[in-house]
């Protein structure tokens, strides 16, 4: 298993044990030859290296688990915040027609669609239907945005189609 130190270096427990053993052997070589070294000294060096490697492993494991927990908490908070913003936006979409200072159309003229746009508005429809007007009906496709929200790609394409006049009427006749 590979451990990751804070500064980006990679240390494995086996590597630490080998380094400790080599350090011990170097010390022993300066005094005697390999053949003069007692088996107990070699085993002691291996044991010290192994204990040191295990200690470093557990310390790094605790650090990494703490860091992962902090990152997970941040990701969860971000997801919850985004969910709240989306929910607030969806609620706002439903209530905007009730706000006369923001929605200048007759409530009866607006039809909530929700997707891919929020409202299809037949501006002037109620007046014509009630016989109060002979004026034209204007059709408006409206989308409600809150905060810094922007049109998504699909909404932008619909807006471009309307602005370019790629809109038509079609009657679909059904014979049963």
The pLDDT score that the predictor gives to residue 1 is: 43
pTM: 0.55
pLDDT digits over 103-160, tens only? 999 999 999 998 899 999 999 999 999 888 888 999 999 999 888 889 999 999 999 9
Q: Per-residue pLDDT for 80 more than 70?
A: yes
Q: What is the rounded CA–CA span in Å between residue 49 and residue 14?
A: 9
Residue 38 corresponds to which tokens in the numbers above?
Answer: 């007692």
The pLDDT score that the predictor gives to residue 34 is: 53
Q: What are the extents of the domains in the chain?
A: 7-95, 99-163
Q: How many CA atoms lie within 13 A of 20 on its CB side?
A: 22
pLDDT digits over 4-57, tens only? 445 555 666 666 667 666 666 666 555 555 555 577 777 788 888 888 889 889
CB 13 within 8 A of CB 61: no
Give the mean pLDDT of 79-106: 87
The pLDDT score that the predictor gives to residue 21 is: 64
């Amino acid at each position: 298993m590979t451990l990751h130190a804070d500064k980006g270096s990679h240390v494995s427990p086996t590597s630490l044990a080998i380094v400790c053993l080599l350090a011990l052997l170097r010390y022993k070589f300066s005094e005697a030859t390999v053949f003069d070294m007692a088996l107990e000294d070699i085993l002691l060096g291996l044991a010290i290296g192994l204990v040191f490697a295990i200690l470093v492993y557990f310390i790094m494991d605790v650090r990494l688990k703490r860091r992962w927990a902090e990152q997970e908490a941040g990701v969860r908070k971000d997801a919850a915040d985004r969910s709240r913003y989306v929910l607030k936006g969806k609620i706002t979409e439903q209530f905007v027609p009730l706000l006369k200072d923001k929605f200048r159309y007759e409530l009866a003229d607006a039809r909530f669609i929700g997707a891919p746009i929020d409202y299809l508005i037949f501006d002037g429809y109620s007046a014509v239907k009630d016989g109060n007007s002979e004026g034209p009906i204007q059709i408006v496709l409206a989308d409600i945005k809150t905060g810094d929200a922007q049109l998504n790609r699909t909404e932008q394409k619909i807006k471009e189609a309307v602005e370019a006049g790629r809109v038509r009427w079609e009657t679909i006749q059904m014979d049963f």
